[in-house]
Amino acid sequence: MAHNEKPTALIMIFGATGDLAKRKLFPSLYQLFQKDRLDRFAVIGVARRSLTNEEFKDSVKKSIAPNGETDSSIEEFVSKFYYHSHDVTDSNSYSALNELAKELDSGYKLDGNRIFYLAMAPEFFGTIAEHLKSDGLTDVGGFKRLVIEKPFGHDLESAKVLNRQIRTAFSENEIYRIDHYLGKEMVQNIEVIRFANSIFEPLWNNRFISNIQVTSSETLGVEERGRYYEKSGALRDMVQNHMLQMVSLLAMEPPISLTTDEIRSEKVRVFRALRTIKGSEVNEYFVRGQYGSGTLNGKDVPAYNQEEMVNPESNTETFVAGKLMIDNFRWAGVPFYIRTGKRMETKSTKIVVQFKDIPMDLYNKQEGSVSPNLLVIHIQPDEGITLHLNAKKNGQTFGSTPVKLSYANKGIDGLNTPEAYEKLLYDCLRGDATNFTHWDEVALSWGFVDNISSVWENEKEESFPNYNSGTMGPRKAEELLEKDGFFWWPVENLDIQE
């Protein structure tokens, strides 16, 4: 679709009374509407509970204007929302849904374009996709696209089953598997930093980079998601998708063009080169943790095993640190360290690219060595880039001192960058699947993660809980780097503004 063209579509949101729809989807659509990015559109919200159209419109209004503010733009936006009460497991009610869809399609002149957004528990994904086909909802004159939330399966086998089910109704290029990290501004910036700067790309390999660290720490605990999280853990919840996606963008070869297929195929090649870690190697390359009680922002917080819907004897990890090796020509010998966890000291996602030391330190013979050059990509909450260099110390000395060159991304409107969901929804409406995960990426990343989870699930970790809430994880995560002669760069001291 050309840049100045605006998309037209009927958007069906399954799970329209749920948390994701209210917190992310309605506000993101409203932002697109306000920015005049959409042409003709209408939305059907689907969920079980019985609501009138008016009640549904009110709930949409509340989600975009929580303080009750109202104006003509809000009214015009919500006027395009319709509700269909429907149990997705009930085969009989899809035809009524199709009737409503046809009516709106012709009333709003939507050109037969349909987006089906599955914002529901994953166990329903396959059933819904099959019904969409068997009940004729996918027989459209325009495009049809399926947006599917994570988790995409629980392991490789279940992901394959799910994929087979959805492929009965949609082709691979009609499936948009969401990984919301791919919608984050600075995650999208990784490729630009790498491929639009001649100073980085020649150095982006094992001759000049000593290691790369990707941290995504959260202060939140498991909140009310204990039931889901007990079966997932940090490995499936964060590593299989967001963490591995960031690694693939950091490690991929330059694509021959910026098309969806070229970018995805370079990412797939990274997953294929990822060294398989299994059996007895798992605990050498990976560390798991579970949070105990502690203090965060001055408040006492409970241990994971005291949270609602969590087994007091739980063996589920809320923290993972790992060393990934990418066995190809570019990256042989360069560890990619990842760590992610809940109830950590700070909410931060950062990438640190540590360059190798210079061959000889001329400047600090008496006063310690020069600091390594670092390129820090600040994903969130700050967005930006910092380059750590060494410069001459002021005054009559030959010594060097570390200096930082920083760029703080303030977003297009000077305030904030668009929410990841806003960008991803827009991409989907325009038919750009680049920032969604291809099945090959999903399959390879599950294959990698399954080897680790199969060991962890069969070995009870007796040291759990092994890190206090409000810390950066268990001691073993530090040791993982120390044994290679490295350490985790502290995320706090790498801030853009200092």
Ligand X SMILES: O=C1O[C@H](COP(=O)(O)O)[C@@H](O)[C@H](O)[C@H]1O
Residues 37-66 that bind ligand NDP (CB under 6 A): 47-49
Closest separation in Å from C-beta 16 to ligand NDP: 6
- Taking the CB of residue 185, how many other CB atoms lie within 10 A of it? 19
The answer to whether residue 422 forms part of the interface with ligand X (CB under 6 A) is no
The CA distance from 16 to 352, in Å, is 38
Chain centroid, CA 281 distance in Å: 27
**Which sign does the torsion angle of CA 310, 311, 313, 316 carry?**
negative
How many C-beta atoms surround the C-beta of residue 282 within 10 A?
Answer: 19
Of the candidates 83, 159, 151, 157, the one whose C-alpha atom is nearest the C-alpha of residue 121 is 151
> Does residue 62 have a known ligand-binding role?
no
Residue 121 interacting entry, from ligand X, ligand NDP, none, C-beta within 5 to 8 Å by type: ligand NDP
CA atoms within 13 A on the CB side of 138: 19
- Work out which of 19, 55, 139, 224 binds ligand NDP, going by CB under 6 A: 19
CB of 377 vs ligand NDP, minimal distance in Å = 23
User: How far apart are CB 127 and ligand NDP at their closest, in Å?
Assistant: 9
Instruction: Report, in Å, the least distance between residue 321 CB and ligand NDP.
Output: 23
Partner whose binding site includes residue 218, from ligand X, ligand NDP, none (CB under 5 to 8 Å by kind): ligand X
Q: Is 300 annotated as a binding residue?
A: no
Please pick, among 86, 131, 154, 242, the residue that the annotation labels catalytic. 242
218 binds ligand X (CB under 6 A): yes
Instruction: Find out whether 440 is annotated in a ligand binding site.
Output: no
Q: Which does 237 bind (CB under 5 to 8 A by kind): ligand NDP, ligand X, none?
A: ligand X
Q: Which residue minimizes CB distance to ligand NDP?
A: 18
Contacts of 76-82 spanning 24+ positions with Cβ under 8 A: 77/29, 77/30, 77/33, 77/34, 80/41, 80/42, 80/43, 80/108, 81/42, 81/43, 81/45, 81/53, 81/56, 81/57, 82/42, 82/43, 82/44, 82/45, 82/53, 82/56
Is 423 annotated in a binding site? The answer is no
- Catalytic site includes residue 242: yes
Choose among ligand X, ligand NDP, none what residue 475 binds, the Cβ cut-off being 5 to 8 Å by kind.
none
Q: Is 237 in the site for ligand X (CB under 6 A)?
A: yes
Radius of gyration of the chain (CA): 24
How does DSSP assign 300-322, residue by residue?
A: EE--GGGSTT--TT----SEEEE
Q: Determine if residue 8 is labeled as part of a ligand binding site.
A: no
Closer Cβ to ligand X, 61 or 378, answer by number: 378
| Minimum CB distance to ligand NDP, residue 177 (Å) | 11
Q: Which amino acid is at 31?
A: Q
- Residue facing ligand X at closest CB distance: 237
At 331 the three-state DSSP class reads: coil
Residues 99-158 close enough to bind ligand X by CB under 6 A: none
88 binds, among ligand NDP, ligand X, none (CB under 5 to 8 A by kind): ligand NDP
User: b/e map of 370-408 (b: 16 or more CB within 10 Å)?
Assistant: bebbbbbbbbbebbbbbbbebeeeeeeeebbbeeeebee
19 labeled binding residue:
yes
6 is in an annotated binding site: no
Residue 410 interacts with, from ligand NDP, ligand X, none (CB under 5-8 Å by kind): none
Cβ distance 241 to 445 under 8 Å?
yes
**At 119, which helix (H) or strand (E)?**
none
List Cβ neighbours of 66 (8 Å cut-off, separation of 6 or more).
none
Site membership for ligand NDP, residue 28 (CB under 6 A): no
Answer with the entry of ligand NDP, ligand X, none that 87 interacts with (C-beta below 5 to 8 A by kind). Answer: ligand NDP
- Which listed range, 9-17, 356-364, 404-412, 413-421, lies at the site for ligand NDP (CB under 6 A)? 9-17
Determine the 3-state secondary structure of 80 from DSSP.
Answer: coil
Nearest to 321 by CA among 107, 141, 467, 138: 467
Q: Check whether 292 is labelled as a binding-site residue.
A: no
User: Which residues contact ligand NDP (rule: CB under 6 A)?
Assistant: 15-20, 47-49, 87-89, 119-122, 149-150
User: Which residues contact ligand X (rule: CB under 6 A)?
Assistant: 218, 237, 349
The catalytic site residues sit at 242
Binding residues: 15-22, 48, 87-88, 150, 180, 184, 218, 237, 342, 347
